[in-house]
Amino acid sequence: MFNTFIDIKKIDIILALITGESIAWLFVWLLKNSPNINLPFLYWLLPVSFPILAIFGIWISYLIGKRYLFVYQLAKFLL
């Protein structure tokens, strides 16, 4: 499992972390400014979970992309 992470470029992992963190803080800002939604546990859960989910998604798309070449490029583009 760790060997497949070595094959992924470092820039892809770094950009997935940055994108996941940015989207998480955008959602936190939207939740704080929403008058109808009051879920304070998401204020710390989103910035932790979104970068992890982004890296997991890139890893899954990398594994699928070994079989279908367009999947990895599509996942990087959509992220």
pLDDT tens by residue, 1-35: 556 556 788 999 999 999 999 999 999 999 999 88
Give pLDDT, residue 27. Answer: 93
What is the number of other CB atoms lying within 10 angstroms of the CB of residue 9?
10
What is the pTM for the complete model shown? 0.81
Give the residue extent of every domain in the chain.
2-78
Produce one character per residue of 30-52: b if its CB has 16 or more CB atoms within 10 Å, e if not: eeeeeeeeeeeebeeebbeebbe
pLDDT, tens digit, 9 for 90 and up, residues 55-76? 999 999 999 998 998 898 999 8
Give pLDDT, residue 5. Answer: 59
pLDDT, tens digit, 9 for 90 and up, residues 34-49? 888 888 888 899 999 9
Cβ-based neighbours of 36, under 8 Å, separated by 6 or more? none
